Amino acid sequence: MTKRTESTDVVADAADTERPSRRRWLREHSELGVSALLLVLGVLVLTDAITMDVDLTQRGPVGPRTVPIVVGAGLLVIAALLAVDVLRGGRGEAEAGEDVDLSEPADWRTVLLLAGVFLGAAVLIEPLGFPVAGALLFWGAAFALGSRRFDRDPLIAAVLSVVAYAVFNNLLGVPLPGGPLMGVL
């Protein structure tokens, strides 16, 4: 009995030390995910090219399949080369920038919030019109990025959105949906 618990303890210990090291390995080699995505993309492009039915539509020696097949095959080769490079210790350098601080871990909350706000605007632009949806987009994005001036932020958002609407819709002739608000004004 005692021996057994001991052994399971040992196993558990081993798992404990193994898991973080495996997780660390995965984190250090997360770029393999890029390789996997390229692989999937390559398979997708190749499948699409091969299942394409070209018979009479094909004109000339190079049909609509040739380039996709070359691109798809290229994606597979690059996926493999990238995987080899990463396993050998090669790393893509994260892009630096003036406002970019790479010493801190990535702030995923902000990114997800921004993506959510953007999707929200995409959904709202047709029912509410551009001035309202655009203002919500600006305010929401500024909020997600940490601005908490509830007096100033919505005002700036509203002015920017209405001005942009007027410039694009009336001045430049790029039609944007006015929505119910512009119907009232």
Partner 1 sequence: MDALNSLLDGFGTALTPVNLLWAALGVLLGTAIGVLPGIGPAMAVALLLPVTYGLQPTGAFIMFAGIYYGAMFGGSTTSILLNTPGESAAVVAAMEGNPMAKAGRGAQALAAAAIGHFAGGMIGTTLLVALAPTVADLAVDIGAPDYFAIMVLAFIAVTSVLGSSRIRGLASLLIGLTLGLVGLDQMTGQQRLTFGSLHLADGIDVVIVAVGLFAIGEALWVAAHLRRTSGEAIPVGRPWLDGGDVKRTWKPWLRGPFIGFPFGAIPAGGAEIPTFLSYVTEKRLSKHRDEFGKGAIEGVAGPEAAASASAAGTLVSMLTLGLPTTAVAAVMLAAFQQYGIQPGPLLFEREPELVWGLIASLFVGMVLLLALNLPLAPLWAKLLRIPRPYLYAGILFFAAVGAYAVGGEAIDLVILLIIGLIGFGMRRYGLPVLPAVIGVILGPNAEQQLRRALQISDGSVTGLVNTPFSVTVYVIVALLLAWPLLRKPVAAAVRKRGQTPS
Q: Verify binding: residue 15, partner 1, rule CB under 8 A.
A: no
Q: Verify binding: residue 158, partner 1, rule CB under 8 A.
A: no
Binder among 3, 4, 89, 98 for partner 1 (CB under 8 A): 98
Nearest CB to partner 1, comparing residues 31 and 182: 31
DSSP 91: -
The dihedral through the CA atoms of 127, 133, 134, 137 has a sign that is: negative
Site pattern 27..66 for partner 1 (x: CB under 8 A): ----x--x---x--x--xx--xx--x-x--xxxxxxxx-x
Q: Is 117 helix (H, G, I), strand (E, B) or coil?
A: helix
Helices 108-128 and 130-144, interaxial angle, to 10°? 170
Nearest CB to partner 1, comparing residues 97 and 183: 97
Binder among 130, 131, 162, 179 for partner 1 (CB under 8 A): 130
Nearest CB to partner 1, comparing residues 15 and 26: 26
Helices 130-144 and 153-165, interaxial angle, to 10°? 140
Binder among 27, 108, 151, 185 for partner 1 (CB under 8 A): 108
How far is Cα 24 from Cα 48, in angstroms, rounded to an integer? 37
Q: Contacts with partner 1: how many residues (CB under 8 A)?
A: 82
175 conformational bin, left if phi > 0, alpha if psi -120 to 50, beta if neither: beta
Nearest CB to partner 1, comparing residues 7 and 47: 47
Residue type, 5: T
Q: Is 64 helix (H, G, I), strand (E, B) or coil?
A: coil
Judged by CB under 8 A, the stretch of 2-10, 13-21, 98-106 that binds partner 1 is 98-106
Binder among 3, 97, 183, 185 for partner 1 (CB under 8 A): 97
What's the min distance (Å) between Cβ of 49 and partner 1?
8
Residues 65-84 that bind partner 1 (CB under 8 A): 66-68, 71, 74-75, 78-79, 81-82
- Cα dihedral 71, 74, 75, 79, rounded to 10, equals 180
**Cβ neighbours of residue 127 closer than 8 Å, sequence gap 6 or more:** 179
